[in-house]
Structure 1
Amino acid sequence: MRKILKITGIYLLLIILDFSCAPPEHVLINGIEFNSATIKDRKDQREFNNYVETSVFKNDIVFIISENLETVASLNLRLTEKCYATTFAKTYDNSILEESFSLKLNKDFTYGNVLISANQNLFEIPEIRNQISIFQTNQSFGDKIIEFSHSFINDAIFSNEVYQVEFECKTTDNRLFNKVIEVKFEN
């Protein structure tokens, strides 16, 4: 019995030392996931909305950018790795630059009686850029959300075909990420 208490005491001491002495983990963004979504449950504060992945846009046009992280430095002994309430804070060694965002469709569409040509960066068209919100969610993974306004949805006319959406962004350490997905717009 004493041996079990000693082993348990040593284990608890190691856990305390692990959490009190270890600096935060350093992580790098080494990739992204890019998905289309719709709002499942709209909250008063958009950061708390719930989203569901979809490939067919009906009422909302939303894209979710998730970061793939790689740990580059950590002194965590990982004695309690499966206990999520005891995870360390992360220090990001790079970050995604919102000003580098590029969003292109492979087919033409009409917005406010103006033809928007295929492969134009929607962020570079001021009339459209003003209809786009970019924000961070307060969900567990802190994804970035690109949401188009209802004004844009009402004024945009898409053909009833499958569109390829190309998203591109850069990080502060000049990594370039590019993802292509297929979506359909229901007018």
Structure 2
Amino acid sequence: MAANNMAHAHPKRRMADEHPSGDPRFKLIDRTLKRYQYQQDALIEVLHTAQEAFGFLENDLLIYVAHQLKLPLSWVFGVATFYHFFSLEPQGEHNCIVCMGTACYVKRAAEIVAALQQHFGIEPGQTTPDNHLSLATARCLGSCGLAPVLVVDGTVLGRETPESALATLFELVGTHADATAATPASTPVSG
């Protein structure tokens, strides 16, 4: 009888809650899906969890989320590309988002972007070759009274200038290139 049981034994089976890839980060996404009971209107929260777990939203993640929420992939992709806080590409160690909304634009946000492009050698949407800094722009960050505004590693900085933005980023990435010592201080905003 023991030999008969051995013939029907299966190799080690995957745990029921383990993702087929074996990547434990999917458990975080699955917990969020369960918390929101797989409701389609939880898409943004699920995408936030996925990006926090993986660092960016690669195509396989978007497909997984679309499948789990029973949404068209085009809808999930549309949401992921509409909001500035989601990224489809790997990001640098530090992230800088420059607001290009009307109030910031009129107060010379484009000059800040140009200075960052010149000094770091990247365009918005790119990451430095050493993966220290990713640069992005956004339509509006909702802090118009503090224009021009940057969000650096999740912290809102208001009343920025090209010099103050460069000084902040040089301090983060350990570069002291052309930052001037007499730059005006940024105004951090809690949020």
Q: TM-score, normalising length from structure 2?
A: 0.23
More strand per residue:
1
Higher relative contact order (CA 8 A, sep 6+): 1
More helix per residue:
2
Q: TM-score, normalising length from structure 1?
A: 0.23
